[in-house]
Amino acid sequence: MENHHIRLTSSEVGGLWANYIADTMFVCVYKYYLAKVEDEEIKKVLMHALDIAQQHVEVVTKIFKEEGHAIPLGFTENDVNENAPRLFSDEFFLFYTKHMTKGALVTYGAVLSHTLMLD
């Protein structure tokens, strides 16, 4: 049985691109939060959120490279100052994480509906 490579559709590329930008932003946000958080339990949640965002960036980067697409610039360490004064409480860090997770799930669901699914 032959295995044919099916290229990404434009909506799939667009969804991956948008998620890449969002996840690179999350990496910056969580690095700042982790530099400021004091509560150890909240710190664990933030570390997990950072790990997930970094994994997403790695996976999407790999997909773009395999497909021969340009890698988006996204957000970088130049877009955040981890030494800036603390702006938010630990509780806000947790609140932000909860609501951004909900938003990400909605976004991933919307992207999935535009994905070509083959058996």
Going residue by residue through the chain (119 aa), what tens digit of pLDDT does each one get? 566 677 888 888 888 998 999 999 999 999 999 999 999 999 999 999 999 999 999 999 999 999 999 999 999 999 999 999 999 999 999 999 999 988 888 877 777 776 655 44
* Main-chain phi, psi angles of 33, to 5 degrees: -55, -45
Quote the tokens at residue 52. Answer: 């997930």
Full DSSP string of 22-60: HHHHHHHHHHHHHHH---HHHHHHHHHHHHHHHHHHHHH
Residue labelled with tokens 């982790």: 34
